[in-house]
Structure 1
Amino acid sequence: MIIERSSEWKEGFIKRLENLEPWSNWSLYNMSYEVEKNNLITEFRGLQSPKYLPALTPLSHQLEVAETVIERMNGKAILADEVGLGKTIEAGLILKEYLIRGLVKKALILAPASLINQWIEELNYKFYIPAIAYKKSYSLDHYDVVVMSMDTAKKSPHRELIYAQDYDMIIIDEAHKLKNHKTKIYEFVQSLKKKFCLLLTATPIQNDVFELFYLISLLKPGHLGNFETFQTSFSASKHSLEHDEYLRELVNQVMVRNRRQDTGIEWTNRKVQIVPIHFTPEEKEVYDMILELKNVSPVFSGAFSMITLQKEMCSSKEATYLTLNKMRQNCVEADEAEFVEQIIQKLMALETNSKAEKAYEIVSEANDKVIIFTEYRASQAYLQWYLNSKGITSVLFNGQFNKNKREWMKRLFKEQAQVLIATESGGEGINLQFCHHVINYDLPWNPMKLEQRIGRVHRLGQEHDVHIYNLAIHDTIEEDILHLLNMKIDVFEKVVGELDDILSAFKKSI
């Protein structure tokens, strides 16, 4: 079989050109007109996209969010639904709607590296949007919808290549990572041309109210005034403010937030408690010696190192030893080194970890899958050894694992191990609805990290009540952390709205 390229079009073209013949006919014009008429969207209100998405059945609150952002917020919004309510689906609906209407042709999605594949799969298979994951060998000119990691996007030469594009829509997942206006990623996003822009985060305030100011300023510069105006108008400091009702009204003009109880879906209960722990006399002696360090030498009086040591001592002697050993190596004076050596000797002589014993007690009583969150890899390794000595199987999960290892650990946890011991990286990007118990072994300073951790299990698809155990050692820095967490929760609820229980079932008034 021989395939040849036809040249008839050329002959017909020359014939019409030379003889001034008509280019088309009335019948063809009418047919073309009818095609365009059928594709015309005459009403802007309401969503067109769901009828083009047979593989997706959006929930009612997701459809409402998409309509609100398109009709009332002109495509610039913070999507701040609680963890597990489908912010990715909402963003996909909005993007699909604008693509169908011809208002968006090119779109850039920035996300943490661990979530890129999830975005690609959802856009391609649920929304039929041909998105690709960016690679250094790709030319951005040739692809309309690109998903890229934040860390890659902010660096040269990728940053300059993105600036050269005319993106109609920018979507930023885990947008709370932009909270610090002095970072490169914040400056990068601030410089992007943003015809339409979606910022996705369940936690628009993590530590203080100024984070929300900078987030909204990225989206709509001037909406809350400049920094000085904002600070003066609301008497704002990190953990307090006035006129919060007016501020919430302004925030709601650019932010959509659904709580679980607003969705009409029947959710399982969240049972949260603070579990008090007491050090043994030997542990308390080491803790007090660590507090005494600041009086031994000015070298040890730095607030950061002292706070770190106190937190580590509340976690494990293994985590504490690593920091003390570095301090010992950096000692200049003999008496300083001698005092640190004394602490290390007493530390390593400890035979009991009161917090680990409590964690084991909870795991044993649960007799079910349990996630333990710790802030230190040394504590993570210790806990795995300790639980193994008690006959409890466990797997580790931390930020050093690549994508394949993370997926393997998740599978091992689901099919074999009873416990997953995760560092903070386990608080984002993994869904573990088959687990119903979470132990916050180490408390973070940021209450929204607790919400992120709990959201790994208390999300759509969870069929059982979720039990949360927040461990806190009496008469240590962990009591100060509890107090500060409550203050931060209070600010969040004044400006953004009510939170589900994350510390205990009873909210404290500060």
Structure 2
Amino acid sequence: MRIERSSDWKESFMDRLEKEEAWDNWTLYKMAYEVAKSTMITDFRGLQSTKYLPNLTPFAHQLEVAETVIERMNGKAILADEVGLGKTIEAGLILKEYLIRGLVKKALILAPASLVNQWIDELNRKFHIPAMQFNKKYDLQHCDIVVMSIDMAKRSPHKEKIYEQDFDLVIIDEAHKLKNHQTKNYEFVQHLKKKFCLLLTATPIQNDVFELFYLITLLKPGHLGNYETFQAAFSASKHNVEHEEFLRELVNQVMVRNTREATGIEWPDRHVEIIPIEFTKEERHVYDLISELKHSSAAFSDAFSVITLQREMCSSKEAVYTTLIKMREKCIQQDELVVVDEILQKLTLLEMNSKAEKAFELIKQANDKVIIFTEYRATQMYLQSYLYEKGITSVLFNGKFSKSKREWMKHLFQQQAQVLIATESGSEGINLQFCHNVINFDLPWNPMKLEQRIGRVHRLGQQNDVHIYNLAVNSTIDDHIVELLYTKINVFEKVVGELDAILSSYKMTI
């Protein structure tokens, strides 16, 4: 089919001009004028988008965040509300507002793969924004609102195609995964062409204060100076800063954060306990043998290797056995093999897991649905078998599951099973307000992972008080982890703001 440019209008135009005829129908013109007038936004203050959202009634704090980002932060902000306060809704409001005002026509939303469908569903259903999931067959030039996983986006050939696009708005969910300028995620986002940018994370500081520096630098380069300037001005180290009031003032120019307490919403209480665990004599003996490995074997001279084994021993013999078998291959000398084989043998003879016994006790006490978080899949499998023998129904949840299987496990947990046993992947993107008991079987190094876990149940829609049990084995690496968690929480509260309870008072026995 051949398309040619018509010039017929010229003859009509000249004819009307010479004969002084009316340009067009006056009635139609007035109607068109009224339509155009009704869609004009004469005042930039205040949100217009709420008039076009019949399926959504935002909370006051969500509206306030949207207004703040648009009016004061020029569309470049970190949305750092506590877990469960609706950062997705806030980002949707901002996107809708910019679309209505004609300031955004092309947007990219990057999220973990497990959250892509959730984003598409909410944007379409709640905001009437025609978002679509990225497909390699699509021409991005003709896709206005695209949602895709950041892991897919940063890989070739998708990366190069995305770099060619000029986006008006880029939204990154779970932005703490960018971490620092050395990660591929960070580098990818840094090179995107974007006018506005939203970084969504309840935990802008995960392990050290420099993570927040790099997030802010991504949004507004130079806002905190360069790395050396920032380090010198605030005497910054991983777990400490000075002049924190001035730093927080600078941070608040690009970050909006609401706490549950500040929303004005009535929240159920959060009850947090650290439950001390005592090893049996046999468990303690194996733990001590593992701790001595760094002195008796060159293959385990790396402190990290021994710490890994210590942490796994505080979880389950299954977890430490799996790792020790792999590490055994590094042993060269016969005396090293003898020591490792002795530990492996004693592991097989262990008949009791003191931490699992306490978890079972807490589950029986709750007499309701419970989520157990563990760091290790070997422990996950053990716990399911252990609870089955005790007559407790459970389902597993981990990052190896497909999207459909994850949804099915969630359904089974809600409808049938009493316990959901999840690895770290279960602390992200899954909403379980129907449950209000959480057992942290293994403590992470990162306090924000605890907050993410608790946020699966302590979020909007929760009707009951939430009970959190953090299990820690006395006189082990667990004591050191708890101490470090408190240190990191202190840094977070200095720079970002108050954090809801994720630990409790705990007397260390070291």
Please state which band the TM-score falls in when normalised by the shorter chain. Answer: over 0.9
Alignment-derived partner of residue 123 in structure 1: 123
**Cα pair distance change 1:99/1:11, threshold 3 Å:** closer
How many Å apart are 1:163 and its aligned residue? 1.2
How many Å apart are 1:19 and its aligned residue? 3.5
* Residues 255-274 of structure 1 mapped to structure 2, 5 A cutoff: 255-274=255-274
**Cα pair distance change 1:216/1:124, threshold 3 Å:** same
Alignment-derived partner of residue 368 in structure 2: 368
Give the distance between the partners of 1:475 and 1:401, measured in 2 at CA: 35
Q: Which 10-residue stretch deviates more, 243-252 or 190-199?
A: 190-199
How many Å apart are 1:347 and its aligned residue? 1.0
Cα contact 1:440–1:470 (8 A) shared by 2: yes
The reply to whether residue 16 of structure 1 matches residue 12 of structure 2 is: yes
Q: Deviations over 1:326-347 (max 9, x none)?
A: 1223321111111100010011
Alignment-derived partner of residue 346 in structure 1: 346
Q: Which amino acid aligns with 1:303?
A: A
How many Å apart are 1:270 and its aligned residue? 0.2
Q: Which amino acid aligns with 2:345?
A: Q
Cα contact 1:207–1:446 (8 A) shared by 2: yes
Alignment-derived partner of residue 284 in structure 2: 284
Q: Which amino acid aligns with 1:59?
A: F
Cα contact 1:443–1:472 (8 A) shared by 2: yes
How many Å apart are 1:486 and its aligned residue? 0.1
Aligned length: 499
How many Å apart are 1:15 and its aligned residue? 6.1
**Cα pair distance change 1:342/1:447, threshold 3 Å:** same
Give the distance between the partners of 1:429 and 1:31, measured in 2 at CA: 48
Q: Deviations over 1:196-223 (max 9, x none)?
A: 1100000000000000000100011000
Give the distance between the partners of 1:312 and 1:77, measured in 2 at CA: 39
Cα contact 2:80–2:256 (8 A) shared by 1: yes
Q: Which 10-residue stretch deviates more, 451-460 or 189-198?
A: 189-198
Q: Deviations over 1:418-463 (max 9, x none)?
A: 0000000000010000101000000000000000000000000100
* Residues 49-448 of structure 1 mapped to structure 2, 5 A cutoff: 49-448=49-448
Q: Which amino acid aligns with 1:193?
A: K
What is the SS of the residue equivalent to 2:109?
strand
Cα contact 2:166–2:194 (8 A) shared by 1: no
Give the distance between the partners of 1:304 and 1:249, measured in 2 at CA: 38
Q: Deviations over 1:11-34 (max 9, x none)?
A: 985862574566534444333222
Give the distance between the partners of 1:45 and 1:192, measured in 2 at CA: 29
Q: Which 10-residue stretch deviates more, 137-146 or 473-482?
A: 137-146
Give the distance between the partners of 1:75 and 1:456, measured in 2 at CA: 28
- Structure 2 gap ranges (5+): 1-5
Cα contact 2:115–2:429 (8 A) shared by 1: yes
Q: Deviations over 1:368-397 (max 9, x none)?
A: 000000000000000000011111110000
Give the distance between the partners of 1:96 and 1:315, measured in 2 at CA: 46
Cα contact 2:434–2:457 (8 A) shared by 1: yes
Q: Which amino acid aligns with 1:287?
A: Y
**Cα pair distance change 1:454/1:507, threshold 3 Å:** farther
The reply to whether residue 40 of structure 1 matches residue 35 of structure 2 is: no
What is the SS of the residue equivalent to 1:152?
helix
What is the SS of the residue equivalent to 2:329?
helix
Cα contact 2:96–2:127 (8 A) shared by 1: yes
**Cα pair distance change 1:507/1:309, threshold 3 Å:** closer
Give the distance between the partners of 1:129 and 1:209, measured in 2 at CA: 36
TM-score (norm 2): 0.96
Alignment-derived partner of residue 450 in structure 1: 450
Give the distance between the partners of 1:67 and 1:327, measured in 2 at CA: 55
**Cα pair distance change 1:481/1:143, threshold 3 Å:** same
How many Å apart are 1:296 and its aligned residue? 1.2
Q: Deviations over 1:265-294 (max 9, x none)?
A: 100000000000011111011001001111
Cα contact 1:61–1:258 (8 A) shared by 2: yes
State the Cα RMSD in Å: 1.6
Give the distance between the partners of 2:118 and 2:343, measured in 1 at CA: 47
What is the SS of the residue equivalent to 1:501?
coil
Q: Which amino acid aligns with 2:474?
A: H
Give the distance between the partners of 2:136 and 2:323, measured in 1 at CA: 39
Q: Deviations over 1:300-321 (max 9, x none)?
A: 1112211110000000000010
What is the SS of the residue equivalent to 1:195?
strand
Q: Which amino acid aligns with 1:192?
A: L
Give the distance between the partners of 1:457 and 1:13, measured in 2 at CA: 65
Q: Which amino acid aligns with 1:231?
A: Q
Alignment-derived partner of residue 3 in structure 2: none
Cα contact 2:181–2:187 (8 A) shared by 1: yes
**Cα pair distance change 1:506/1:290, threshold 3 Å:** closer
Cα contact 2:231–2:237 (8 A) shared by 1: yes
Give the distance between the partners of 1:18 and 1:90, measured in 2 at CA: 53
Give the distance between the partners of 1:11 and 1:354, measured in 2 at CA: 87
The reply to whether residue 476 of structure 1 matches residue 472 of structure 2 is: no
Give the distance between the partners of 1:11 and 1:196, measured in 2 at CA: 40
Aligned-pair identity (%): 73
Q: Which amino acid aligns with 1:311?
A: R
What is the SS of the residue equivalent to 1:247?
helix
**Cα pair distance change 1:129/1:33, threshold 3 Å:** same
The reply to whether residue 500 of structure 1 matches residue 496 of structure 2 is: no
Q: Which 10-residue stretch deviates more, 471-480 or 137-146?
A: 137-146
Cα contact 1:271–1:505 (8 A) shared by 2: no
Q: Deviations over 1:29-50 (max 9, x none)?
A: 3332222122111100000000
Cα contact 1:207–1:488 (8 A) shared by 2: yes
Give the distance between the partners of 1:48 and 1:277, measured in 2 at CA: 55
Q: Which amino acid aligns with 1:149?
A: S
Cα contact 2:294–2:303 (8 A) shared by 1: no
Cα contact 1:107–1:170 (8 A) shared by 2: yes
Q: Deviations over 1:78-104 (max 9, x none)?
A: 000000000000000000001000011
